[in-house]
Amino acid sequence: MSDDITAFHAAVEGLMREVTEKAILPRYQNLQAGEVEDKGGNDPVTIADRESEEMLAEGLAKIIPGLPIVGEEAAHADKSVLERLSGDCWIIDPIDGTRNFARGKPPFGVLIAMASGGEVHTGWIYDCLTQRLCVAHRGKGAFVNGEKVGATTTGEALPVAAISLLFMDMAKREQVMEHIAPHYRLVDVPYCAAEQYPRLGLGENDVSLFERTLAWDHAAGVLWLNEAGGKAARLDGSPYRVDGPDYAGLIGAASPALWEEMAARINAL
The 10s digit of each residue's pLDDT in 40-77 is 777 899 999 999 999 999 999 999 999 999 999 999 99
Q: SS3 string of the chain?
A: CCHHHHHHHHHHHHHHHHHHHHHHHHHCCCCCCCCEEECCCCCEEEHHHHHHHHHHHHHHHHHCCCCCEEEHHHHHHCHHHHHHHHCCEEEEEEEECHHHHHCCCCCCEEEEEEEECCEEEEEEEEECCCCCEEEEECCCEEEECCEEECCECCCCCCCEEEECCCCCCHHHHHHHHHHHHHHCEECCCCCCHHHHHHHHHECCCCEEEECCCCHHHHHHHHHHHHHHCCEEECCCCCCCCCCCCCCCCEEEECCHHHHHHHHHHHHCC
> Residue 20: what pLDDT?
98
Spatial separation of the C-alpha atoms in residues 3 and 154, rounded to whole Å: 37
Please, which residues have CB within 8 angstroms of residue 3's CB and are 6 or more apart in sequence?
none
* Extents of the domains making up the chain: 3-149, 160-267
State the pLDDT at residue 74: 96
CA dihedral 240, 244, 249, 250 (to 10 degrees): 10
Angle between helices 3-19 and 47-63 (to 10 degrees): 160
Selected from 3.40.190.80, 3.40.50.300, 3.90.700.10, 3.60.15.10, the CATH number assigned to the domain covering 160-267 reads 3.40.190.80
pLDDT score of 2: 61
Instruction: Report pLDDT digits (tens) over 202-233.
Output: 999 999 999 999 999 999 999 999 999 999 99
Per-residue model confidence as pLDDT tens for the chain (269 residues): 566 778 999 999 999 999 999 999 999 999 998 999 988 777 899 999 999 999 999 999 999 999 999 999 999 999 999 999 999 999 999 999 999 999 999 999 999 999 999 999 999 999 999 999 999 999 999 999 999 999 999 999 999 999 998 889 999 999 999 999 999 999 999 999 999 999 999 999 999 999 999 999 999 999 999 999 999 999 999 999 999 999 989 999 999 999 999 999 999 98
CATH code given to domain 3-149: 3.30.540.10
Identity at 242, one-letter amino acid code? V
Comparing 3-149 with 160-267, is the CATH topology the same?
no
CB 128 within 8 A of CB 21: no
pLDDT given at position 1: 52
